[in-house]
Every structure is written in C-alpha cells, then in structure tokens.
Amino acid sequence: MGNTPVHESEEFWERFTASASLHPANLYRYTLISDLIKRWPEKKDYIVDLGCGNGALISHLKDLDLGKNLVGFDGSAAITEINKKKLPFADFSQADLQVEKNFPLSNIADIVVCSEVVEHMPDYLPTFKIAHKCLKDNGLFILTTQGGKRRRHDIHLLGHLRHYVIEDLAREVEAAGFEIIHRQKAGWPALTAQKIVASLFMGQVEQQLASTKEPSSLFKLACKIIGIGLTCSSKQFGPQLVIAARKKA
C-alpha cells in the first residue's frame, strides 16, 4: 500500500498494521521474494523497498540476514516516522512513487523490491522508472502484485484499482529498461480460496483486520489453515504475480 494517497495510506496502516503480521499471504509473498534474492548470484548488499508500508518485508529480510543496507520508501509521512522509531536498523524516507523526477537515489541499489504496491496506484508506470534509476547496472528488480479477478474485498477493503495480466505487466517493465529473467504465478488454490472467503465475509474480515484488539481465536485458526494451504499451493498458477528483471547495462 506504499503509494496510495497519503491520507489513505496512513489510515490503512493505522487500522491494519497489527493484524497484517498474522496474515499468511504476506509471509508467503515475502518467502517468494527472499527466495529470489537468495538465488541472485550478484551482489545483494543494498536493498531498496519501494512502497515499504509498515516495513514488514524489510524486517523479514533483516531476520534472514539479507542486505547490509536496507532502505524503505513510502508515500505516508506517518508510517515513515513510525518505521524510523520501530526499525532503527533500516533507513526510511517519504517519497511519491508516482513521480520519477527528484527521486533521491540513483545507481546505488543492488536489488529493488516493489511488493503489492502498483495495484493501488493511479499511475504506476513511473515506479518502474524509479526502480531503474535506483539500481546499479545489472541490478535486480523484483515486482509482486495481483492477477485474476478483482473480488469484492480487493476493491472495497484493500483498495485495488486493478489486477494485472502478467504478460502485459512484463512488457511494461521491459519498456522501463529491464530484461525479464523470471515471471511467476503462484498461490492456487489456497490464495484463491482465501480471496473468495474474504469477499463473502468481508464485514467480519474487516472487523478482525481493523480491530485494535487481539484477533479472535477463529481468525488465528483461519490464518493457520490458509498458511498450511499455501505451503502446498502451486508455484506456477494462481493470483499472486511475481516478476524479476535485470537492469540492462
């Protein structure tokens, strides 16, 4: 959610930060990303997360000892300040990822990640140019987002403006100066089933996700079941889209 309009981003993270750490789809996604980073044969000391939200992915990479320098950018000033206090091992800054001009980093990152951000942005193409600008030559860009049908909770609860066809998205990444080296659909059937259930019971899901109280035992159980299902889910089919691309020298 890193680059929704600032007030929306702040509201989202104020409501959803606590419960987001329980959601198995997030950990599943972080694992897909970290596995790509582990397999990357080039240098991976300087990692930038564009649209870092509450810094959960950066924390995950820190726990795995991936990246000596971890940097996060987000559109929300509020979440940026919270991250600076809670995650002092990384650097955080506010930035509009829909505007390439004046972005502060250039030719410095070994890896840039943009995870579950572009589906929220009215104008997402500048983000690919920002990623290209940040990276050193031959650096790695990892993009994750959603494909398939936008369901009720995607639109009304999560604020997804669009879902993507991976072939079309890959062409847009290539147009920003990248060479596609990996594309992947993942998460079927568990992630698809989770989306259907979340849309059918959107009111109850929102109540659990947005509550400041401890999530219910039923919600925790559902997360465990989804998590188990995701470990057995396809790495070739599903609504989770992953693209990895190299910045051309």
User: What is the average per-residue pLDDT within 226-233?
Assistant: 89
- Does residue 230 lie within any of the structural domains? yes
- Does residue 46 lie within any of the structural domains? yes
Q: What is the pLDDT of residue 6?
A: 41
Indicate if the pLDDT at residue 206 is higher than 80: no
- Does residue 1 lie within any of the structural domains? no
Q: What is the DSSP secondary structure assignment for residue 151, as one 8-state letter?
A: -
CATH number at residue 32: 3.40.50.150
State how far the Cα of 217 lies from the Cα of 221, in Å rounded to an integer.
6
- Does residue 198 lie within any of the structural domains? yes
Indicate if the pLDDT at residue 215 is higher than 80: no
The sign of the torsion formed by the CA atoms of 120, 19, 14, 32 equals: negative
State how far the Cα of 73 lies from the Cα of 92, in Å rounded to an integer.
6
For 177: left if phi > 0, alpha if psi spans -120 to 50, otherwise beta; the answer is left
Indicate if the pLDDT at residue 200 is higher than 70: yes
- Does residue 142 lie within any of the structural domains? yes
For 50: left if phi > 0, alpha if psi spans -120 to 50, otherwise beta; the answer is beta
Which range of residues forms the domain containing residue 218?
6-247
User: What is the average per-residue pLDDT within 158-169?
Assistant: 96
Tens-place pLDDT, residues 15-45: 555 556 667 888 999 999 999 999 999 999 9
Tens-place pLDDT, residues 76-119: 898 999 999 999 999 999 999 999 998 999 999 999 999 999 99
Q: What is the pLDDT of residue 1?
A: 42
Q: What is the pLDDT of residue 238?
A: 96
Q: What is the pLDDT of residue 3?
A: 43
Judge contact between 1 and 13, C-beta under 8 A: yes
Record the pTM.
0.91
Q: How many domains does the chain have?
A: 1
State how far the Cα of 69 lies from the Cα of 56, in Å rounded to an integer.
15
Q: What is the DSSP string of 68-128?
A: SEEEEEES-HHHHHHHHHH-TTSEEEE--TT--TT-S--S-EEEEEEES-GGG-SS-HHHH
